[in-house]
Amino acid sequence: MTQTAISETQQASNGAVQPMLEVRDLKVYFPVTKGLILPRQVGSIKAVDDVSFNIMPGETLGLVGESGSGKSTAARTIMQLIRPTAGEVIIDGQDLSKLKGAQLRQTRRRLGIVFQDPVGSLNPRMSAGNIVGEPIKIHRLHQSGQDFRDKVAALLKTVGLNAGMANRFPHEFSGGQRQRLGVARALAAQPGLIVLDEPVSALDVSIQAQIINLLQDLQEQLNVAYLFIAHDLSVVRHIADRVAVMYLGKIVEITTKEKLYANPAHPYTKALLSAVPIADPILDRKRQRIVLDGDIPSPMNPPPGCVFSTRCPVAIDECSSYVPELRETSPDHGTACIRATGYGAE
Amino acid sequence: MSLLEVKNLSTYFDTESGLIKAVDDVSFTIESGEILGLVGESGCGKSVTALSVMGLVPSPPGRIVNGEVRLDGVDLLALSDAELRQIRGRRIAMIFQEPMTSLNPVLTIERQLTEPLELHMNMTRRQAATRSAELLDMVGIPDPEERLWGYPHQLSGGMRQRVMIAMALSCEPELLIADEATTALDVTIQAQILELMQDLTSRLNTALLIITHNLGVVARYADRVNVMYAGKIREKGKAIEIFRDPKHPYTVGLLNTVPQVEGPLSERLEPIEGDIPDLANLPPGCSFQPRCRWATEQCGVEDPTLTELTDGHVTACWEHALVNKGKVLA
């Protein structure tokens, strides 16, 4: 049912498939103030700086970065939980960042979100059925009490839980089951896109794979698109179609999964990939190891020029003065680095 | 003689839901200059093993009911608290997971680094401060003299963990225990810290016990690996054998379930079915049997004991002859 609904809206426009989500020049700046009584703005933290990407229906975009890279802020801004400083978040042709009140709530139904913490994101005093069914109630998607219970039961079944578990409370579920509840809730209002903010980071490794497989199955059945946020490049490799790498508020590289893992172009992506050890001592010892110096710089005081230049192993003088924009370095492969092959073509 | 020899260690906790055998009959050894990986998921007993070695098990509810922990032949469990204090921090040091909560927020870095040096190395405060600055420099903290007078909140997570390492290494211990020491850090910082620890162990001939759930970290750094599940060591051996030819279904399950950044990409991950068992209510027989695809009737009745397959490669599985990884990487 969801699948047909989505494809109908797509075809309704002009025959061509429209992106499910379009993010254009998104900026989120947080003011930094000084003074308790008469606060004045002394600077700003550029948490998200000029970020643009599309996600097609049924597609998964992985958004990868270390802590402080702005990936979670980007996710929250897409959901309008944080309002952007500038830029557009377009869903079904409507710019969410311009909407307010009832209209915003109505359009935001097209988005679902799953949070990282499977304990903190479920109200301990609500039954599993009411947690999962809350979006149905809010958007009045049910005809009767019986219909509500049927819908909740169907959702629980979709995520691999028993319909009979609706009366249980969150503490009666294991970590993996709680995350399944989170996924069921995100699906309740039949969204076209689900934002998954580190959905498996808090789970034990043997449980992670269960949730990843569930997400892949659901995508196949419902044609739902995912924005999958993670610090873990190996998980993203399994679930994403395309991957965007963020550093200090900017996307430094964006391309298909195949290209990113086989031919990373940005030195930061290369370092990030080499820092993840693989579980095979013989193969791992053959891999190139790039160990970066220092920490990610403070976003309040980012370095001039390329934000990665202070830690970059291949930086040249020009890097500390020239701000590289995201450019297509090969077909379907965007890189923001003047040292990348194909960047200075013209 | 091994540097550390843990023999038949059992640490139990009395809880409201019943007796929990957090560590159940665990034995292993570590040699000087060696890196041993202790792998397992949450609740498998790997941290309690480390705390038992350090003599830091909270009691009550915990108690070490059996076993020996021998450092150079001396049984640490038989020592008095005062004697143990001479060893803890001096000969065995531990790096904890949380760099935020393991440092005292109201003391300067200098005070926290000089304390063990004054205590164990009979240094004056001034000597200790000079040595502390050297230590900070060694772990790669810029402007060490200045940093000494700062407080933990002025440092980033990676810097704090480096201070923890400097503190642990300050008295040049013979054994360093890193309990999920890099888990909370970003991967690029994790790589920095692990390279640093590896470098220091080889230079000072320190033994390193890496406790982690991250198989990649163990594959990259460990010489030997112990795999724990539900309080017991289920498989141990050389890292290469454990990763290339695992002989316990749980090890196989872990290796196949973890996504990798390199190597062949399968359509679907192979999860280990079911959940981690409740330690107060373990299944009969082998504790992994309800999740095991090789399980037979015998497995539900009798708990397998560790059997030696080849030199140093030991597994606790009735069906170990059938167990294999299935797919082999490149």
**Of B211, B259, B272, the residue nearest B54 (C-alpha):** B211
- Domains, chain A: 1-31+43-123+174-240 (3.40.50.300), 262-346 (no CATH)
* B130: in domain: no
> A82 — phi, psi (to 5°)?
-120, 135
Residue scoring higher pLDDT (B242 or A343): B242
pLDDT at B328 over 70: no
Tokens 């079915």 correspond to B273
Out of B187, B188, B259, the one facing A238 most closely (by C-beta) is B259
* B49: in domain: yes
- Contact between B123 and B135 under an 8 Å Cβ cutoff? The reply is no
- Across the beta sheet with B313-315, the strand order is B92-95, B175-179, B207-212, B35-39, B224-229, B232-238, B313-315, B307-310
Q: What is the model's pLDDT at position A111?
A: 94
Contacts for B139 with CB less than 8 Å, ≥ 6 apart:
B162, B163, B165, B166, B169, B196
Least Cα separation, residue A172 to chain B (angstroms): 13
Partners of residue B66 on adjacent β-strands: B10
- Residues of A whose CB is below 8 A from B271: 206-210, 213
* B52: in domain: yes
Read off the amino acid at residue A101.
G
* B19: in domain: yes
Residue A301: other Cβ atoms inside 10 A = 8
pLDDT in tens, chain A (346 residues): 444 444 444 444 455 688 999 999 999 999 888 888 888 888 888 999 999 999 999 999 999 998 889 999 999 999 999 999 999 999 988 999 999 888 998 899 999 999 988 888 999 999 999 999 999 999 999 999 999 999 999 999 999 999 989 999 999 998 889 999 999 999 999 999 999 999 998 888 888 899 999 999 999 999 999 999 998 899 999 999 999 999 999 999 999 999 999 999 999 999 999 999 888 888 888 888 888 887 788 888 889 999 999 999 999 999 999 999 999 999 999 999 999 988 874 4
* CB-CB under 8 Å, A281 with B271: no
Any CB–CB contact under 8 A between A314 and chain B?
A: no
Q: What is the model's pLDDT at position A300?
A: 82
- pLDDT tens by residue, B177-231: 999 888 878 888 888 888 888 988 888 899 999 999 899 999 999 999 999 999 9
pLDDT at B273 over 70: yes
Q: What is the model's pLDDT at position A224?
A: 96
Confidence of residue B93 (pLDDT cuts 50, 70, 90): very high
User: Beta strands of chain B (E only): which ranges?
Assistant: 4-15, 18-30, 35-39, 62-71, 74-75, 92-95, 175-179, 207-212, 224-229, 232-238, 307-310, 313-315
Least Cα separation, residue A303 to chain B (angstroms): 18
**Structural domain tally of chain B?**
1
Any CB–CB contact under 8 A between A14 and chain B?
A: no
Confidence of residue B270 (pLDDT cuts 50, 70, 90): confident
Any CB–CB contact under 8 A between A262 and chain B?
A: no
CA separation for the pair B220, A119 (Å, rounded): 32
Long-range CB contacts (within 8 A, 24+) of B53-56: B53/B4, B53/B6, B53/B92, B53/B177, B54/B88, B54/B92, B54/B94, B54/B177, B55/B79, B55/B84, B55/B88, B56/B88
Q: Which of residues 196-235 of A touch B (CB under 8 A)?
A: 204-210, 212-213, 216, 231, 233-235
* B281: in domain: yes
pLDDT (average), residues B294-321: 91
**Which residues span the domain enclosing B274?**
4-91+173-315
Q: What is the model's pLDDT at position A6?
A: 41
- Residues of A whose CB is below 8 A from B41: 204-206
- Supply the mean pLDDT for chain B: 90
Tokens 């359509």 correspond to B267
* B11: in domain: yes
CATH of the domain at B26: 3.40.50.300
Confidence of residue B38 (pLDDT cuts 50, 70, 90): very high
pTM exceeds 0.90 for this model = no
Long-range CB contacts (within 8 A, 24+) of B199-203: B200/B138, B200/B169, B201/B33, B201/B35, B201/B176, B202/B33
| CA separation, residue B276 to residues A119, B156, B235 (Å) | 17, 34, 17
pLDDT (average), residues B286-312: 91
Q: In this predicted complex, what is the ipTM?
A: 0.82
pLDDT (average), residues B301-325: 90
CA B237, B243, B249, B251 torsion-angle sign: positive
* B265: in domain: yes
* CB-CB under 8 Å, A216 with B243: no
